[in-house]
Amino acid sequence: MATWSNLNLQESASPLMEQLNFFHDHSVMILLMITTTISYLMISMTVNKITNRFLLENQFIELIWTIIPGVILVFIALPSLRILYLLDETISPSLTIKTIGHQWYWSYEYSDFINVEFDSYMIPSTEIEMNSFRLLEVNNRLVIPFNTQTRILVTAADVLHSWAVPSLGIKVDANPGRINQTSFMLKYPGLFFGQCSEICGSVHSFMPIVIESTLKNNFINWLNQFN
């Protein structure tokens, strides 16, 4: 999860977030090269008082500085489009979960099983344990087995919400009367935190999301408690 000293993206917990991290680094390197080149040219023009008379209204130079930005945009656009299609692609899921946004909590339904549904509320600061995170811990975590392709169906019961987990590269709008979907796969076990990312009312800041990634056997044992 992100801490106060973390200025970078969160560590990727899914293959999709890995691709987003790679694209971020790719774009930053291109921007760094552009910034360095432009800074050098501006400094050299400021320091040098001599004017190159062949540089004024030179059609060939204008052609060059029109083509080069176009080529740079292609190098940014191609990987961007690739990730855009990966975000929308839903591979045959092994597990489907429905999440519903309410004012101001989340409810989850495991559509592949019978009678597995629960509400997830933030634990108040007065009741939280010492080893838990303030304003992020919930009473019922979303338990998912890792290395399992999971599909999330997202909707809302009242107003607009947004189900977002940064370390998974997921942000899905929850619209009343509409179901949006996305899929992801967790790479390793652990706890992953998110929050509602749509201003949905006065208690918008108190709608955390906690995903507990665990072994498949532990996931099955967790499901048995609902029987």
Residue 214 near residue 189, CB atoms below 8 Å:
yes
Same domain, 158 and 200: yes
Q: In this structure, are 146 and 168 located in the same domain?
A: yes
Q: Does residue 99 belong to any structural domain of this protein? A: yes
Q: For residues 81 and 131, which has the higher predicted lDDT (pLDDT)?
A: 81
In a domain, residue 100? The reply is yes
Look at residues 88, 115, 142 and tell me which one is the last residue of a structural domain: 88
156 and 135 in a common domain: yes
Supply the mean pLDDT for the chain: 87
Residue 6 covered by a domain = no
**What is the model's pLDDT at position 1?**
65
Q: How confident is the model at residue 135 (pLDDT cuts 50, 70, 90)?
A: confident
CATH at 73: 1.10.287.90
**How would you classify the pairing of strands 95-102 and 150-156?**
parallel
- Out of 59, 88, 117, a domain closes at 88
Are 106 and 214 contained in the same domain? Answer: yes
**Contacts for 137 with CB less than 8 Å, ≥ 6 apart:** 122, 123, 128, 129, 208, 210
One domain, residues 47 and 144: no
For residues 129, 133, 135, 139, the Cα torsion angle rounded to the nearest 10 degrees is -60
Residue 13 is classified by DSSP as -
Shared-domain flag, residues 136 and 107? yes
Q: Is the pLDDT of residue 35 over 90?
A: yes
Full domain range(s) for residue 217: 95-224
Look up the CATH number of the domain holding residue 202: 2.60.40.420
CA 122 to chain centroid: 21
pTM: predicted TM-score of the whole model, two decimal places: 0.80
Choice among 5-9, 14-18, 76-80, 165-169 with the minimum mean pLDDT? 5-9
Instruction: Report the pLDDT value the prediction gives residue 61, as an integer from 0 to 100.
Output: 81
Work out the average pLDDT over 183-194. Answer: 89
For residue 36, name the pLDDT band (cuts at 50, 70, 90).
very high
Co-location of 183 and 209 in the same domain: yes
Q: Per-residue pLDDT for 41 more than 90? A: no
Residues 61 and 135 occupy one common structural domain:
no
Q: What is residue 94's predicted lDDT score, i.e. its pLDDT?
A: 85
Model confidence pLDDT, tens digit, residues 89-124? 767 888 889 999 998 999 999 888 777 888 999 998
Q: Among 8-12, 172-176, 220-224, where is mean pLDDT lowest?
A: 8-12
Final residue before a domain boundary, out of 56, 71, 88 = 88
Average pLDDT of the residues in 130-149: 88
pLDDT band at 153 (very low <50, low <70, confident <90, very high): very high
Q: How far apart are CA 100 and CA 84, in angstroms?
A: 25
Number of domains in the chain: 2
The pLDDT value recorded for residue 28 is 93
Residue 67: the pLDDT is 92
pLDDT for the residue 111: 80
Same domain, 146 and 61: no
The rounded distance, in Å, linking the Cα atoms of 15 and 64 is 38
Residue 54 sits in the same domain as residue 164: no
